Amino acid sequence: MRYLPLSDADRQAMLAGIGARDIDALFRDVPAPACLDQPLPLPAHQSEMAVERHFVALAGKNLSAASAPMFIGAGAYRHHSPAAVDALIQRGEFMTSYTPYQPEVSQGTLQVLFEFQTQVALLTGMEVANASLYDAATACAEAAMMACRITRRDGVLISGDVHPHYAETTVTALQYAGPVVEQLAPDPLGFEDLLGRIDSRTACVLVQNPGFFGRLRDLAPLAAACHEMGALLVVVVAEPVSLGLITSPGEMGADIVVAEGQSLGNALNFGGPGLGLMATREKYLRQMPGRLVGQTLDADGRRGWVLTLSTREQHIRREKATSNICTNSGLCALAFAIHLALLGEEGLARLARLNHAGAVTLVEKIGQLKGVRILAPTFFNEFSVHLGRPAAPVVEALARQGILAGVPASRFYPSYPELAEVLLLAATETNSESEMDLLVASLKEQLA
C-alpha cells in the first residue's frame, strides 16, 4: 500500500503507546449522532491508473472557461494573463519561499511584497496596504473587525449589493466576536437606504463598488455621512481591473478598502485560491491585520526590506493581536504584482477600457431582446438583466449548447423568489464580438 505503510500490528503498537483502547477512542469527543455506523457507499480501492482514468472521465464532463464562450463573473473573472507571469512565479526561489522571518535571507520575497503593497495602495487610492490576506471574503470580515476596534463601536452595516459570499463570511466571523451585524436584502435596483441606517452605534458601513449586481456609484456622499456620525466606510472591490478606469475608493472617502486580487495574474483555477487585498489610511496602520513590509537601511547604509509590522498572535500577546491570520497568499500576490508591473499604469487603463467597452457592446446587443430589461444603468464589465422568466433553466440550456451564459441570481439567493429571473453577465477582454452575437442569438431562441 503505497500511501498507507502501517500494518495492523503497527497501529496496535501506536494505540498502546498512547493508552487508547482502539481507534474509536481517538474520536470520543465527536458527538455520537455525527459518527457513521457503517462505511460510506464508496467503491472499493482501485489501482492508481484506474482512479486516474475515472477522474479524467469526470473532468471531461466539465465545460471549462477556456473552451467555451464565457460570460460568468460574480466575483471571479476570466482575464488574459501574460505567459511571463507563470514563467516567473514558477522559479524555485519564489515557489519554495515561505514566511520571511529571517530578512537577511528573504530580501527577494520581502521586496516583492513591498512592491505589491505599493501597487495596492496606488490602485485603491489609500496610503498604506498590507502584504495580502487570504481572499476578499475574509478581508471583508477583517475590515469590519478593524473598524470596530478603531471606533470602539459594535454596529456593522452591510449593503445588499455586497457579494453574498463576502457578506456571509463577515457575518460568520463576527457572530461570536461581539459586533452586531445588519445585513440588508439584495439590491439589484439600488433602492436601499444606507444613509438612514447610520447611527451612533455604527462602526462601519460595508459597500461594494462595482456592486454585486454590477452597479457603479459615487460613494462620496455615503463617506461624508459615515464620517459625520463617527463611522468608517469600508469599500470592497471584487473586480480590481475596474480600478484602472473608475475613481478609486480612497478618492471617494473610503477609510478601509478590501478587494479580490484574482483578476490580475491569477487564473480562475476552479474557484481558487483567492488573493485578499487590504489598504487603509496611515492613521489606522496599527489596527490593520496581517503583515506589512517596510524599507530600511542596513548597518552599511544599503537599502533593504523587513517586516515592519506583523501584529499576529504568533508574534505578540493574543489579546493584543489584530488577527489570527497565519500567512498571506504570497504566490498569488507575486502573480498579481508581476501582471500589474507588466501592464503598467497605461496598460491597466487600456485593459479597463477594453473591459468596459465590451460590456457596453453586450448591453446594447442584449437590450434589443424582447422582454429583457437591463437593471444596472451604470456598470464596468458586469451587469444584471431581468429575463422575464427564470434564469437558471436558460443558463442550463445554453450550457448544453456550449455557452457559459452568466450566473443566475437564484444560485446565490435561493430564498428570494423575486430574483429568480435575474441573470448576471460579465464581459472581459477575452470575449469576442462573435461570442457575444452567439450568446444573444441563443438567448433569443430560449426566450422566444
The CATH number covering residue 417 comes to: 3.90.1150.10
Mean pLDDT of 85-100: 83
| Alpha-carbon gap, residue 101 to 307, rounded angstroms | 8
Domain assignment present for 300: yes
Can you give the CATH number for the domain in which 294 is found? 3.40.640.10
Count of structural domains within the chain: 2
The answer on 371 and 223 residing in a single domain is: no
Structure-block grid coordinates of residue 441: 442569438
Single residue among 282, 313, 340 that ends a domain in this structure = 340
Q: Please, which residues bridge with residue 424 across strands?
A: 384, 407
The answer on 159 and 107 residing in a single domain is: yes
Domain assignment present for 267: yes
| Alpha-carbon gap, residue 392 to 421, rounded angstroms | 8
Q: Please, which residues bridge with residue 386 across strands?
A: 373, 422
Has residue 11 got a pLDDT over 80? yes
pLDDT band with cut points at 50, 70 and 90 for residue 111: very high
The closest of 357, 365, 373 to 437, measured between CA atoms, is: 365
Pairing of β 180-183 and β 202-208? unpaired
Mutual orientation of helices 330-366 and 107-124 as an angle, nearest 10°?
30
Mean pLDDT of 383-407: 96
Domain assignment present for 297: yes
Q: Please, which residues bridge with residue 407 across strands?
A: 424
Digit-coded pLDDT (tens) for 151-161: 999 999 999 99
The answer on 292 and 374 residing in a single domain is: no
296 contacts 313 by C-beta, under 8 angstroms: no
Domain assignment present for 200: yes
Pairing of β 180-183 and β 155-158? parallel
301 vs 105, more confident: 301
What pLDDT, on the 0 to 100 scale, is given for residue 324? 67
Single residue among 293, 322, 340 that ends a domain in this structure = 340
What pLDDT, on the 0 to 100 scale, is given for residue 317? 66
The answer on 378 and 316 residing in a single domain is: no
| Alpha-carbon gap, residue 439 to 331, rounded angstroms | 35
Domain assignment present for 99: yes
The answer on 406 and 382 residing in a single domain is: yes
Among 29-33, 326-330, 372-376, 410-414, which stretch is predicted with the lowest mean pLDDT?
326-330
Domain assignment present for 25: no
The answer on 391 and 275 residing in a single domain is: no
The closest of 246, 266, 253 to 223, measured between CA atoms, is: 253
323 contacts 330 by C-beta, under 8 angstroms: no
The answer on 359 and 306 residing in a single domain is: no
The answer on 315 and 376 residing in a single domain is: no
The answer on 136 and 157 residing in a single domain is: yes
| Alpha-carbon gap, residue 398 to 400, rounded angstroms | 5
Instruction: Using alpha carbons, list the distances in angstroms from residue 171 to 108, 157, 184.
Output: 37, 10, 12
Single residue among 300, 319, 340 that ends a domain in this structure = 340
Mean pLDDT of 202-223: 97
Among 118-122, 168-172, 308-312, which stretch is predicted with the lowest mean pLDDT?
308-312
The answer on 369 and 329 residing in a single domain is: no
What pLDDT, on the 0 to 100 scale, is given for residue 1? 46
> Chain-wide mean pLDDT for the chain?
93
187 contacts 160 by C-beta, under 8 angstroms: yes
What pLDDT, on the 0 to 100 scale, is given for residue 315? 62
| Alpha-carbon gap, residue 408 to 390, rounded angstroms | 8
pLDDT band with cut points at 50, 70 and 90 for residue 241: very high
Residue 403 lies in domain: 345-447
Q: Which helix (H) or strand (E) holds 180?
A: strand 180-183
Count CB-CB contacts under 10 A for residue 112: 22
The answer on 273 and 360 residing in a single domain is: no
The answer on 285 and 148 residing in a single domain is: yes
Domain assignment present for 10: no
- pLDDT over 90, % of the chain: 78
Domain assignment present for 39: no
Digit-coded pLDDT (tens) for 248-283: 999 999 999 999 999 999 999 888 889 999 999 999
Q: Indicate the pTM of the whole model.
A: 0.89
